[in-house]
């Protein structure tokens, strides 16, 4: 899906093993969930994001879901996923729960969960707070996303809730993550 993006200290990159996930570290992607491979993402400096909120201005040419990657680490240098306890508007665009758990493996860093935020066509600003995150790509607004973990069985999964969520698509369309 075509989009444009800009912001101070951010840059576009392709999601594929070996790519740096941040602009100022040697942490590279070791694993990319099926369906995310080769999407165009946006990365930033971890040091900049820890010091200030990083804003990303983007233009969508049609309604879409912006795939935000939260690093699975409670350290304040990482942006933490939204919580209704902290942000009463956390689910206004969707994105409260991950759509792909453990979707990206990172050498020398925490793995990444993907949350989807819905936007209409037009110009927008993504400003989520202090802490590093990445944008894993942009997909069509009607793209089905699976909600299940995507890593190997021995990965760090917080729960088995995914066993009881997101039944298979009835329309036969593949979901990202399946």
Three-state SS letters, 111-150: CEEEEEEEECCEEEEEEEEECECEEEEEEECCCCECCCEC
pLDDT score of 117 more than 80? yes
- What's the pLDDT score for residue 178? 52
Domain ranges in the chain? 3-164
Whole-prediction pTM: 0.83
pLDDT score of 174 more than 80? no
Q: Averaged over 41-61, what is the pLDDT?
A: 96
**Taking the C-alpha atoms of 83, 163, 172 and 117 in order, what is their torsion angle to the nearest 10 degrees?**
10
- pLDDT tens-digit map of 85-105: 776 666 778 888 899 999 999
Confidence at 147, pLDDT banded by 50, 70, 90: low
1, 140 contact by CB (below 8 A): yes
């Amino acid at each position: 899906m075509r989009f444009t993006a800009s912001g101070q200290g951010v840059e576009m990159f392709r999601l594929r093993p070996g790519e740096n996930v941040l602009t100022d570290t040697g942490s590279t992607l070791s694993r990319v969930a099926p369906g995310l491979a080769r999407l165009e993402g946006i990365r930033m400096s971890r040091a900049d994001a820890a010091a200030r909120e990083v804003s990303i201005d983007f233009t969508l040419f049609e309604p879409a879901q912006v795939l935000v990657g939260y690093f699975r680490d409670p350290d304040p240098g990482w942006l933490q996923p939204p919580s209704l306890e902290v942000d009463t508007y956390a689910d206004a665009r969707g994105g409260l729960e991950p759509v792909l758990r453990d979707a990206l493996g990172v050498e020398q860093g925490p793995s990444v969960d993907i949350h989807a935020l819905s936007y209409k066509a037009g110009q927008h600003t993504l400003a989520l707070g202090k802490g590093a995150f990445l944008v894993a790509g942009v997909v069509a607004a009607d793209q089905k996303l699976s909600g299940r973990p995507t890593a190997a069985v021995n990965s760090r999964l917080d729960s088995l809730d995914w066993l009881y969520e997101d039944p298979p698509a009835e329309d036969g369309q593949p979901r990202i993550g399946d």
